[in-house]
A = this chain, B = another copy of it.
Amino acid sequence: MKEWFTLLAEYVPDLPSDVYGEGEYMQAFEKEIADLLGHEAAVFMPSGTMAQQIALRIWAESRQNFSVAMHPLSHLDTAEHFSYQFIHNLKRIQFGIPEFGDRLLTTKDFQNLKETPGSILLELPQRFLGGYLPPWEDLQVTVQWARDHDIPIHLDGARLWESQPYYSEKSLADIASLFDSVYVSFYKGLGGITGSMLLGPQSFIEEAKVWLRRMGGNLRAQFSFVASAKWGVENNLPKMQQYHERAKALAKIINTFPNFSTSPQVPHTNMFLIFLPGDPAKVKSILLEASRECGVFFFGGLRASQHPQYSFFEVNILNQGLDLDLEKFKELMQVLADKLV
């Protein structure tokens, strides 16, 4: 807490607080991000949960179609207590029977739907799979299919910043402007306190502000979130390429051990899943032991994998990951390999 307040006291200009979403500092930041992502308008919001529900609700109302085509592992279907159903009466369309959430959706999946969804939500990268991204061409085709069928297509860009290096010749605006609406987060890769932004056409954003008020997100003041978000864009956005390179370097080391794997094998972003042999309790205790021995803390929320002999956890490479000594990391992996036999 103290560090943040001290940093931000220095960082912010001599401007007054925003008041219920209005304020020079906030609006300038909204414009900055709208320009960066190639969208007409933007509104800062306290959370992505709010931003995405609002986007889907607006699209549903505009088409009078409350069905949504989104991945079964989307944030809305895994991390929001099904709010989209409980408070918006939205319904997810099932992809196939039975439905598996073990890979990215492709254009074919949308083509095979037997009904027309009110909207599509795509998450780039697909976080719970390990941060997979579709090839640029596939993305184009999916978006074109949505356009051809007049289906609004929304981007869950919680980790959009982290995705750009994968599409190396494409800018953030090239990616984001494919979509009718976009949500981005300021606290994951960017390291802000919290906060999100919803982007889209001006009229869409005006309507989003009504829904933001309804959801209880039109706060008296958000300058602490806004300032930390702006600080994150300035300080951490330029490092996304480095985070990605470092994730690839670590995954490469991990994959040299016969019984260790990452997914993706070559990370698409700064994140990946690491699979280690053993049940979560065993792997956890050995990981802790090895981390202490080597003085390198490499850890996450261990979970049982589908394969009965493996556990896994999610790895996100940020500033601490850049500071990691690769030789030390190799040593840790070796100690781990020796212990996890």
Contacts and interface: CB of A to CB of B under 8 A. Distances in A.
Contacts of A83: 213-216
Given A81-B213, A87-B214, A17 B1 contact: yes
Contacts of A222: 194
Interface stretch (A45-53, A120-128, A293-301): A45-53
5 contacts: A1-B16, A9-B9, A47-B216, A49-B214, A194-B220
A173 interface: no
A249 B4 CA distance: 42
B213 A49 contact: yes
A217 B16 contact: no
Nearest to A217: B216
Interface residues of A, number: 48
B12 A216 contact: no
Q: How many copies does the complex hold?
A: 2
A8 B6 CA distance: 8
Interface centre among A215, A216, A227 (most CB of B within 10 A): A216
A178 to B, nearest CB: 25
B87 A224 contact: no
Given A47-B219, A215-B83, A219-B47, A17 B4 contact: yes
Interface in A224-278: 224-225, 227
A103 interface: no
A150 interface: no
Interface string A47-64: 111110100000000000
Given A46-B46, A80-B216, A81-B214, 9 more contacts: A1-B16, A1-B223, A4-B17, A4-B224, A49-B216, A50-B217, A83-B213, A87-B214, A193-B221
Interface in A4-56: 4-6, 8-9, 12-17, 25, 45-51, 53
Nearest to A15: B1
A288 interface: no
Interface of A: 1-2, 4-6, 8-9, 12-17, 25, 45-51, 53, 80-83, 86-88, 187, 193-194, 210-211, 213-225, 227
Given A210-B81, A221-B193, A50 B216 contact: yes
A87 B215 contact: yes
Contact of A46 (B6, B80, B88, B217): B217
A27 B211 CA distance: 30
A45 B219 CA distance: 11
Given A83-B213, A213-B81, A46 B1 contact: no
B81 A46 contact: no
Nearest to A53: B216
Nearest to A219: B194
A221 B13 CA distance: 23
Contact of A220 (B50, B51, B193, B210): B193
